[in-house]
Amino acid sequence: MTALNELPYRPCVGILLLNSDGLVFAGQRITMQSDIWQMPQGGIDSGEAPRAAAHRELAEETGIDAVEVIGESRDWHRYDLPADLLGKVWRGRYRGQEQKWFAMRFLGTAADIDLDAHEPEFRTWRWMDADALVRQIVPFKQAVYAAVVDEFAPLIEPG
């Protein structure tokens, strides 16, 4: 059996989606029953480029495809799963995720947002202030969210 600290990180993308008011798209996972909000994110398929994965994941989770990429994180960001989730999610194959983040500008309207466009992952959504979102993510992802918001801060403004 592989020691948990020897498990790899799951390759993943995250999307900081901004509207014209400088607010960030946030969703509540169907599986979460608390007031936890998060940005769209998901795994990178074998052979898939991170940018392509970001567009695919955004479309699958939100129905949104009317976007422009306005930023890409310099580095990959990692987080470890808490002990109570290790060995339970992703069939126990990963210790956490290693994410490439993309900042995107939303070019559509609320009518373009369809949480049921694919297999539903979010139960509801809203536009949030980026700093408020950092405070409302699960604690084990909070450092990654803070780093991503800090890196993309020059892009997080109205217009």
Asked whether the predicted pLDDT for residue 34 surpasses 60, the reply is: yes
pLDDT by residue (tens digit) across 146-156?
999 999 999 99
Asked whether the predicted pLDDT for residue 24 surpasses 80, the reply is: yes
Q: Which residue has the higher pLDDT, 22 or 159?
A: 22
pLDDT > 90: percent of the chain: 70
Mean pLDDT of 58-74: 97
Q: pLDDT grade, residue 92 (50/70/90)?
A: low
pLDDT > 70: percent of the chain: 89
Mean pLDDT of 19-29: 96
Q: Which domains does the chain have, with CATH numbers?
A: 7-155 (3.90.79.10)
Instruction: Print the SS3 string covering the chain.
Output: CCCHHHCCEEEEEEEEEECCCCCEEEEEECCCCCCCCECCEEECCCCCCHHHHHHHHHHHHHCCCCEEEEEECCCCEEEECCCCCCCCHHHHCCCEEEEEEEEEEECCCHHHCCCCCCCCCEEEEEEECHHHHHHCCCHHHHHHHHHHHHHHHHHCCCC
pTM of the model: 0.91
* Mean per-residue pLDDT of the chain: 90
Asked whether the predicted pLDDT for residue 1 surpasses 50, the reply is: no
Mean pLDDT of 18-25: 97
Mean pLDDT of 85-103: 79
Q: pLDDT grade, residue 52 (50/70/90)?
A: very high
